[in-house]
Amino acid sequence: MRDVSFGQYYPANSFVHKCDPRLKIVFLIVYIVAVFLAKNFYALGACAALFLLIAAVSGVPFKSLLRSVKAVLFLLLFTAVLNLFFYQGGETLWQWKFIRIAKEAVYATVFLAVRLFLLVLGSSLLTLTTTPVSLTDGIESLLSPLKLIRVPVHEIALIMSIALRFIPILTDETSRIMNAQKARGADFETGSLAKRIKAIIPILIPLLTGAFRRADELGDAMDARCYSGSKVRTKYKKLTFGWRDFIAFLLCASLLTGIILLRIYTAPLI
């Protein structure tokens, strides 16, 4: 579980790390929209090429990015298998009784797997190149118009930031609890499904207890520092756009424009 990298920050002094967090969040949204708008491998290839370029510039090891896929590997495989065996129509490649695999189903399965793969990698790259504090400031700045209708923007951004920050902490704590239970003779890898689920209970109870204890300690620490929300709060570092953000904005606009053009002028996958 230590290999899960989502929510962790990789310190570096790269072009991507120095970009404004607001623009990085907007870029991720545009990237996700572009991946969903892609209807063939040409468009997905354009998204993948841009992602590889940004990942190379960011200086984040590709192994750290691939670790984030482990968290959703089961979902990715499960969705791909469903799409492979339950696709209707198309040219039959293999069939046994009621199980049938079509040629178009193989294309659609690979296409869906690549799409989910790119989505997870893009989201992970944002958290790896942006600190939780910067993410909080960026989200709060982007949602600031909602303050006009009395939406607690600062509190929402703070909750999201704390959730991201606690993902690696809870992951490490889960690993320690599992090792402690294994030292006491617990078995999490063999036996029936019901036995494995029953073996998880000794992990969940101390994990939830530790999570509530950490939340209580965090609340006490915020009270001790006179935290009072966004009413009288000032910022040490103010977000400003620079030349890096202008280049990132051009890449963002080029990606969305290119995907729309490919969607209009190229044939769909199937």
pLDDT exceeds cutoff 80 at 98: no
**pLDDT at residue 25 is higher than 70:** yes
The answer, yes or no, to whether residue 1 has pLDDT greater than 50, is no
pLDDT tens profile 131-161: 878 888 888 888 888 888 888 888 888 887 7
Residue 262 has pLDDT above 60, yes or no: yes
Give yes or no for residue 95 having a pLDDT over 70: no
Does the structure show a pLDDT above 70 at 39? yes
pLDDT in tens, 26-38: 999 999 999 998 8
Average pLDDT (45-68) is 87
105 vs 152, more confident: 152
Partnered with residue 220 across adjacent β-strands are none
Q: Compare 31 and 263 and report the one with higher pLDDT.
A: 31
Neighbours of 157 (CB within 10 A): 21
Closest by CA to 49, choosing from 41, 60, 37, 61, is: 41
- What's this model's pTM, rounded to 2 decimal places? 0.77
The mean per-residue pLDDT over the stretch 248-262 comes to: 88
More confident residue, 244 or 93: 244
Task: Provide the pLDDT for residue 89.
Answer: 64
Supply the mean pLDDT for the chain. 81
What's the mean pLDDT in 167-175?
82
